[in-house]
Amino acid sequence: MNIDEVVNLLQKELNEIEDKIKKLKTKETEVKNTIKTLRENLQITVQCDKCSGEGMYFHRSCAEDEGDFKVCPKCYGKKRIKVI
């Protein structure tokens, strides 16, 4: 084997490695985009801690006031709040 054949063989291997790197970078981009989409669309919710999952809470403005129920300002009456 002469030097030209060795250089050509090494160049061929280098080209194959570069092609694999390009494919992996493309796959990496796809995975990152999928993760981003999942994070945007995933909605983990828990029971609202302000109204205890009732959607309403008892509000009294002073000690003499009879008070009334109001829509929860944290969950807006939905009874659950988004965690993520």
Task: Give the residue extent of every domain in the chain.
Answer: 1-42, 43-84
Q: Chain-centre distance of CA 3, in angstroms?
A: 53
Type of residue found at 5: E
pTM for this prediction: 0.47
What integer is the mean pLDDT of 19-33? 96
35-69 pLDDT per residue, tens: 988 887 877 889 998 888 889 988 887 777 788 88
Mean pLDDT of 7-27: 96
* 53 burial via Cβ count (<10 Å: 0-12, 13-18, 19+): middle
Of the pLDDT bands very low, low, confident and very high (cuts 50, 70, 90), residue 84 is: low
Half-sphere exposure of 51 (CA within 13 A, CB side): 21
Q: What is the mean pLDDT of residues 1-20?
A: 94
Give me the amino acid identity at 25. Answer: K
What's the token pair of residue 31? 């995975």
Has residue 22 got a pLDDT over 90?
yes
